[in-house]
Structure 1
Amino acid sequence: MITTDTVRAPAGTVIGRREGRVRRFLGIPYAEAPIGVRRFAAPVPRGRFTEPYDASRHGATAQAVPLSATTTIPEPSVPGDDVLNLSVVAPADAERCPVLVWIHGGGFLAGSPASPWYDGRSFARDGVVTVTVGYRLGVDGFAPLDGVPANLGLRDMLLALDWVRENIAAFGGDPDRVTLAGQSAGGAAVLALLASPAGRGRFQRAMSISGGFFEVGRDIARGLLERLGDRLGVPPTREGFSAVGVARLQATVRDVRGEEALVLGPVTGDDILPVSLAEGLAGHGLDVPLLLGATGDEFDGGAGAVVAARSARAAGTRVTDTLFRAACPRVARLRRKATAGTWLYSFEWPSPITGGATHCVDIPFFFDVLDAPGVRAALGPRPPKELAAPMHADLVGFVHGRRPSWAPATGEPGDTAREYGRRGAVSAADVTGGYDPVVPAATEAC
């Protein structure tokens, strides 16, 4: 049975929904809507609600146009102006539970915090409050425009973390036990905020899933903006792009970017990222425990995939290794002086649909939502619960503050990495062959 659930927080009164032992408060604005003069400006904290806020449904998404008609992760677009919102999923009667703040992926151009793959119900079962964050995308979030603060999307995330700090206790969360986590562009954002002096104190643990060094050179970004302006018939400036609707702008970015993997993203040289990500990771966040890894194939279809040509497979492998897998030991090496530790993992279970351990297919395992919409389309009719149990349990344990059971990494040859699933383990009976069994942290207290 679903009933209403009311929370009185510093932000104001919020009315959500309770179903069994899970409470959901969806689409809560943490900033003023980025429209008009605020469209290309630093985010402004949302004023306190003067009336109870209805948080019964997902809020507007910054994604107006998805990157493609079909995406591995279901990524619904929700219309509206209040795109700077977040959702909270909490255990019933939670008190001082650790908090997982989730940053979605999408190449900094797309993605949706309203995806059913990001539902925090299994984390709520295990004593964790989950917060999913919406942030500005594409030109609106990451274009280096004259007269515009750089890295607006990262600034949005930082303001969301401030909201968590001020309000999450009212939802049963512990503001002093926040783990910042994300996948793909979200994982790269985690690393960027870990490397940023502005991130200090806003989160206590971090996890990067298929992230990497996704900083984009200003020359590359400005080249895209010039092509974009030519296509739209506007100057590539704040004023020019302000005259173009978000949906049209996103659709045009999708059209003109071609085969380029990263055209907009974090840029360095401002107050958020004053130095390169590599330099920042070597000097900041060394007191924050970090868990990071990648899938075995990412954008390479895997050994069993049917590819159009050998060159396509080789290109996929280069992307997999260069953008994702090589970043893991590099981050560990940069953080070798970290007092908090760095732990690596590798996801190796090959989806029978994609033909490999490809990009995004690990998310339903980490979230333990194998029954969510779209999972069978990406993972096949029988995704192994025996794999979800230890993956979810490891992440729950990390968020609860426990030290991972395998050795920390230094980025040198011989480092230990936790392997989830092994190549060829497509049956449930076989799937435990690639990792040490772990007892899942079911119904864990806060």
Structure 2
Amino acid sequence: MTAERTDPEDPVAGTPYGAVRGRWERGVAVFRGIPYAAPPFGEHRFRPPVPPEPWDGVRDAGAFGPTAPKPPYSPAFARYLSDPVIPGDDCLNLNVWTPEPGPGGRLPVLVWLHGGALTRGSSAVPVYDGHAFARDGVVLVSVNYRLGVEGYGLFPDTPPNPGLRDQLAALRWVHDTIAAFGGDPDRITLCGQSAGAISTGALLAAPQTQGLIRRAVLQSGPPEASERDKVRRMVRRMANRLRIPATAQAFAEVDRGLLLRTQAEVGRLSSPVLGGPAFGIVVDGDLVPRDPLQALLDGEAAPGVDLLMGWTRDEYRLWLVPGGLVDHVERLGPVAFAGAMARCRAGHEVPRGYRTLHPEAGPAETVGQMVTDHLLRLPLHRLAEARPGSSYLYEFAWPSNRPGLGACHALELGFVFDTGEDPDSVRLAGEGAPQELADAMHGAWVRFATTGDPGWQPWDDTHPVRVLGDGEPHTVSGPRDAEFALWNSGAPAPHPERTAELALAVRRLRRSVAAVRRH
């Protein structure tokens, strides 16, 4: 692809595959839609990424590139979350915001991996605009990668985790190329939220990334590997609906639109709170040789990498409030508790302990916080315990101005990127989000990417957690230690006979929730 220059003052930078022309916007240079790998279709479908074809001349990089194939959010979630769709096959692309394009600069670099349950999202979401980072001296790179069955389907005839391999290819591109955009390849911070944080954790633990990552930020997502059977069930259910073999070759012959509609229908029964079949990163013996969390806890991966990790106070509310699910779970009461116990493989002592610690909380809040602690907060807490002195924890506590959302999952993003005035941030935060909170959060991320210190005490035996959004930023010692102790107390898991009952309860709960979603 070539294009004529439209302005002799447009910034131009070199890449291994050809030169690209960006745009000056509000004092920073922006390059969008730069390919880091070939289009993942045709002979490359469901396969690991390969380098793109080089181009002659200067390629225009003024607009976001195509987004990966994905189903839309349901109407209930689309009220709060934007997810632009840009058609085209060349979806393995990235974007760069930099204040100093050209070689010679040695600015810190932040590489952003978007969230979306590995099935939705893209680097084109307006909330992720990197202008504020570049304004404050950090080169921001945001990445598109394959999603859903294209990126995380598990097949017998292709290697696992192609979406994670896309991210690795993008990270290598950044390390090899970012100096041409003013960045320092030795000061790369890998950062992600939700599924992006899970991906960040997996890449931290991957042998192939050693020496590529100096720091990492995990927002509302722990290092983890999904059970292979859980991913296989997604693929098999899709195959059964499509009446095809559960192979990559058979899936590649299906119309893409039909594939996305089938994926969305099968995924309707999945939920972060309730579990169910879902796409995820799996142990593959290669890029993911073992469970990423355990590898990091054992100290055999990412030595010397500084970590900034945290969560929002009411993560679960984004999963349950849209469509009225929180009220439905509230009414289910004992069934909801049984479902949570099955999801967390917990005995009665755990929910009983949560009710004792928070007697004012209803079933939905208790279940939501209990599952969030088990799946998200406790793993990050354990990781900080294993890496004291170089780990920093935070809790985002500001409640949205949208009714019922509280300090929900993803709400902190507009503050981290300092994009709170963008209409897409307002969708989730409502009008009037406090700029001083954005200044505090964005400033902490800039400091961490620059120096490795976000501005508060690193993890030690006092368990310091920075609370952002509940009054002035302040540090609290062990704010969730009592809840975490419930999981560490050795409370017995359910008896095998009881486990079958709980599994039946969680299936009933999922079906009930799915019925609400249909309406």
* TM-score computed with the length of structure 2 as normaliser: 0.77
Change in 2 beyond 3 A, CA 1:100/1:195:
same
Alignment correspondent of 2:163: 153
Query: 1:44 aligned to 2:50?
Result: yes
Find the aligned partners of 2:366 and 2:257 in 1 and give their Cα distance: 34
1:337-416 equivalences in 2 (<5 Å)? 341-353=390-402, 354-409=404-459, 414-416=462-464
Describe the SS at the equivalent of 1:374: helix
Find the aligned partners of 1:325 and 1:72 in 2 and give their Cα distance: 24
Alignment correspondent of 2:504: none
Give the superposition deviation at 1:434: 4.9
Aligned residue among 134, 143, 161 for 2:153: 143
Query: Counterpart of 2:311 in structure 1: which amino acid?
Result: A
Describe the SS at the equivalent of 2:239: helix
Aligned residue among 379, 384, 390 for 1:327: 379
> Any conservation in 2 of the 1:15–1:53 contact (CA below 8 Å)?
yes
Aligned residue among 19, 22, 35 for 2:25: 19
Give the number of the structure whose alpha-carbon radius of gyration is greater.
Answer: 2
Query: 1:74 aligned to 2:82?
Result: yes
> Any conservation in 2 of the 1:343–1:408 contact (CA below 8 Å)?
yes
Give the superposition deviation at 1:296: 0.5
Query: Counterpart of 1:11 in structure 2: which amino acid?
Result: Y
Aligned residue among 382, 405, 419 for 2:467: 419
- 1:309-336 Cα offsets, whole Å, 9 max, x none, are 4244444333322222222202223x33
> Any conservation in 2 of the 1:21–1:92 contact (CA below 8 Å)?
no
Alignment correspondent of 2:266: 256
> Any conservation in 2 of the 1:89–1:124 contact (CA below 8 Å)?
yes
- 1:272-326 Cα offsets, whole Å, 9 max, x none, are 1111122211220131001010101112369x99841424444433332222222
Change in 2 beyond 3 A, CA 1:226/1:321:
same
Alignment correspondent of 1:87: 95
Query: Counterpart of 1:416 in structure 2: which amino acid?
Result: P
Query: Counterpart of 1:81 in structure 2: which amino acid?
Result: D
Find the aligned partners of 1:129 and 1:92 in 2 and give their Cα distance: 9
* Deviation >6 Å, runs of 4+: none
Find the aligned partners of 1:166 and 1:232 in 2 and give their Cα distance: 42
Find the aligned partners of 1:111 and 1:168 in 2 and give their Cα distance: 24
Query: Counterpart of 1:58 in structure 2: which amino acid?
Result: F
**Larger deviation, residues 227-236 vs 209-218:** 209-218
> Any conservation in 2 of the 1:64–1:247 contact (CA below 8 Å)?
no
Change in 2 beyond 3 A, CA 1:260/1:315:
farther
Describe the SS at the equivalent of 2:269: coil
Change in 2 beyond 3 A, CA 1:258/1:319:
farther
* TM-score computed with the length of structure 1 as normaliser: 0.89
Alignment correspondent of 2:288: 273
Aligned Cα root-mean-square deviation (Å): 2.3
Describe the SS at the equivalent of 1:369: coil
Alignment correspondent of 1:427: none
Bigger helix fraction: 2
Alignment correspondent of 1:317: 369
Alignment correspondent of 2:302: 285
Alignment correspondent of 1:32: 38
- How many residues align structurally? 422
Alignment correspondent of 1:195: 205
Give the superposition deviation at 1:60: 0.6
Find the aligned partners of 1:432 and 1:85 in 2 and give their Cα distance: 39
> Any conservation in 1 of the 2:122–2:143 contact (CA below 8 Å)?
no
Find the aligned partners of 1:14 and 1:352 in 2 and give their Cα distance: 41
- 1:45-100 Cα offsets, whole Å, 9 max, x none, are 12332231111111011143223230633210111101100011111457211111
Query: 1:181 aligned to 2:181?
Result: no
Give the superposition deviation at 1:141: 0.8
Find the aligned partners of 1:279 and 1:435 in 2 and give their Cα distance: 28
Query: Counterpart of 1:291 in structure 2: which amino acid?
Result: L
Change in 2 beyond 3 A, CA 1:166/1:47:
farther
Find the aligned partners of 2:168 and 2:55 in 1 and give their Cα distance: 21
Query: Counterpart of 1:65 in structure 2: which amino acid?
Result: P
Alignment correspondent of 1:308: 327
Find the aligned partners of 1:59 and 1:224 in 2 and give their Cα distance: 29
> Any conservation in 1 of the 2:200–2:223 contact (CA below 8 Å)?
no
Give the superposition deviation at 1:35: 0.6
Query: Counterpart of 2:472 in structure 1: which amino acid?
Result: T
Give the superposition deviation at 1:162: 1.0
> Any conservation in 2 of the 1:65–1:250 contact (CA below 8 Å)?
yes
Describe the SS at the equivalent of 1:359: coil
Alignment correspondent of 1:297: 314
Aligned residue among 68, 71, 78 for 1:65: 71
> Any conservation in 2 of the 1:348–1:357 contact (CA below 8 Å)?
yes
Find the aligned partners of 1:293 and 1:71 in 2 and give their Cα distance: 25
Find the aligned partners of 1:63 and 1:269 in 2 and give their Cα distance: 24
Change in 2 beyond 3 A, CA 1:332/1:433:
closer
Alignment correspondent of 1:441: none
Find the aligned partners of 2:458 and 2:15 in 1 and give their Cα distance: 38
- 1:18-63 Cα offsets, whole Å, 9 max, x none, are 1231111101110011111101111001233223111111101114
Find the aligned partners of 1:299 and 1:243 in 2 and give their Cα distance: 38
Query: Counterpart of 2:390 in structure 1: which amino acid?
Result: G
Change in 2 beyond 3 A, CA 1:232/1:93:
closer
**Larger deviation, residues 320-329 vs 215-224:** 320-329
Describe the SS at the equivalent of 1:388: helix
Describe the SS at the equivalent of 2:132: helix
> Any conservation in 2 of the 1:74–1:373 contact (CA below 8 Å)?
no
Describe the SS at the equivalent of 1:326: helix
